[in-house]
Amino acid sequence: MAQRIFVTQPIPEKALARLREHGSVEVNADSAHILTKPELMAALRQSDYLLCLIHDTVDAEAINASPNLKLIASMATAPAGIDVAAATARRIPVTRNPPLVTEATADLHWALLLAVARRVVEADRALRSGLFPGGQSIHFLGGEVNGKTLGIVGLGAIGEAVARRARGFAMRILYTKRHRLEEARETGLGVEYRNLDELLSESDFVSIHVALSPQTVHLIGERELRRMRPSAYLVNTARGPIVDEKALVRALQERRIAGAALDVYEHEPMVEPGLIELPNVVLTPHLGSAALDTRERLAGIAVDNIIAVIEGRRPPNIFNPEIYGT
């Protein structure tokens, strides 16, 4: 009998074509629809392999709904939405993707930073409605970017990629992280170390790049937002719960900061209603990796993992290797 493979949303056609060479493939064809739990469970009852995306929740009940499930292949770097313990208990391998989204996410981060500073979204909406205030009007006066100070919270791979781009704007670059870099590394990157409070008070743009952990939930809250400059902007493309969204709404409403740009949210796919109502906020629906070349690589690796298991091999990107006794 053909292997039955279920894909929770459309992925690039190259990857789907490879899957079809190894089994019967069913895809939720609506790229705007995140499957509900009943929908996912119904699909899993008829499936042997699952390819899921970062926004999917695959809990123990969903896993146990599929008596023949042989693999859960996630396109996420960290499969946080999957109950890995439940899968491991049934000796079902869970695979993930290596961190391939660095450059695409850094590109989007800069798109958001520029958009909120120069009020691009506000101006676009106004122009479409018939407003053209003139080439030297102060109607859409925004923030300068070139030569300003960028504060990077969490200087990992994506933070470093953002810093590289900032040098092209002649920015002064501050950073904070748990362990300070060696002096030679700081010099090479062109960055200066500050603790979090210092960074917040000195920066014109605060860029969030820390990993989500119990220690970083609401790392940026009421207290931290009050340390930012009234002319400063907050940009978050890391994980939503790092920023206290309710505190952010208050800071924006009271004009204690100039604006914010977000690609991630505390309770995705839900967005804090107050954010949607504010004109000084730019919002995108978790688009960090949504570049064609990047998504093709991510999908290809997930397919590699599925094909490996179908062919009786250990998948190359196993997240729970203990099921293989290692």
Catalytic residue among 119, 194, 209, 286: 286
CA distances from 131 to 126, 139, 178 (A): 5, 10, 47
| Tally of CB atoms within 10 A around 34 | 16
Q: What angle do CA 69, 13, 60 make, to 5 degrees?
A: 25
Active site residue 239: yes
Active site residue 250: no
> Which residues are within 8 A (CB) of 64 and not within 5 positions of it... i.e. 6 or more apart?
86, 90
Active site residue 109: no
What are the DSSP E strand ranges found in the chain? Answer: 4-7, 24-27, 49-52, 71-74, 94-95, 149-153, 172-176, 191-193, 205-208, 233-236, 259-262, 281-283
Q: Using CA atoms, how far apart are residues 31 and 107, in angstroms rounded to an integer?
A: 22
Could you tell me which of 303, 262, 296, 325 has the C-alpha nearest to residue 74? 303
Contact (CB, 8 A) for 261 and 240: no
Catalytic residue among 239, 245, 266, 272: 239
Catalytic residue among 192, 222, 268, 296: 268
Active site amino acids: 239, 268, 286
